[in-house]
Amino acid sequence: MSIAFLDGHYLPLEEARISPMDRGFLFGDGIYEVVPSYAGKMVGFAPHIARMQNGLDAIGIKLDWSEQHWADLCKRLIDENGAGNLGLYLHVSRGADNKRFHGFPEAVTPTVFAFAFDIAPAPVADIALARPYKVSSTQDLRWDRCHIKSTALLGNVLHFQQGYEKGHGETILFNADNELTEASACNVFIVKDNKVITPVLDNQLLPGITRHIVLDVLRRDGTISIEERTVTMDEVRSADEVWITSSSKEIAPVVQIDDIPVGDGAVGPMWLAAQTLYSAGKHDY
């Protein structure tokens, strides 16, 4: 049985209850994080918490929790849930009011909810063991604040579903100018002529922690050149390799977009190089 945290208490997940007046429920008015943990060791804990604090500040939710407070919560969830391959879901909503009013209520206490869920074992840097993805692509129809990790995910959900209904594992997104933004729940990288290229951070995409770690381990290694810049749809379609990154997937190779092979349609050597560096370096973050 999974043990969750809700408003100061640890309890079985099935027993956790919130008010239907919670603004997270009524408006998607909240911020969340997903932190991966393997055998009791979290990856990217500090940057995940920093990003959550940025999100809370950006939408004016006042929650006075230190990084240590979050660390204690995560540690307890890991211990209570078997310390295997876990995703730690952390969620703060603005709280429950007694009326439905769009403006921020004066005196509500934020709702803090967290639970742990099983994730796949971390990817192994081995072409034969890679988990390749087939994805769809479509125009990004979400809002203009995709850098905020908001719990209001309907736009992402609808985009994910577009690909899922075609048997695809993700949907990659292009803005109205046919520039790559990200995927419904991942960041996207392309490889061309041994160069690793990913969209520059702006309001159109989430500043992914995995994206950050990938760029950092590549920079530390120094042998592979990197560009953070605008990436066009044509560049994606003619890339040698495409990767999607997220906390639970790490670096996942994409071998087909809209049923057209990426490069030669096989998992590429640059994926192997990047995942090798990621696997070796991720616990430094």
Which residues are designated catalytic? 149
HSE-CB of 7 using CA atoms within 13 angstroms: 14
How long a stretch of residues is the chain?
A: 285
- 214 exposed, middle or buried (CB, 10 Å; 0-12, 13-18, 19+)? buried
Binding site for ligand PDD (CB under 6 A): 34, 156, 182, 185-187, 206, 208-211, 245-248
Q: With residue 59 as reference, give the H or E element that holds it.
A: none
CB 185 to ligand PDD: min, Å: 4
CB 171 within 8 A of CB 138: yes
CB 106 to ligand PDD: min, Å: 31
| Distance separating alpha carbons of residues 223 and 48, to the nearest angstrom | 27
Q: Which is nearer to ligand PDD, 36 or 263 (CB)?
A: 36
CB 170 to ligand PDD: min, Å: 10
> Token pair 């295997």 is at which residue?
84
Within 44-174, strands assigned E span 85-93, 111-118, 133-139, 170-174
Q: Which is nearer to ligand PDD, 185 or 217 (CB)?
A: 185
CB 189 within 8 A of CB 217: no
State both tokens at 9.
Answer: 């208490």
Q: Which is nearer to ligand PDD, 136 or 246 (CB)?
A: 246
CB 159 to ligand PDD: min, Å: 9
Q: Which is nearer to ligand PDD, 92 or 96 (CB)?
A: 92
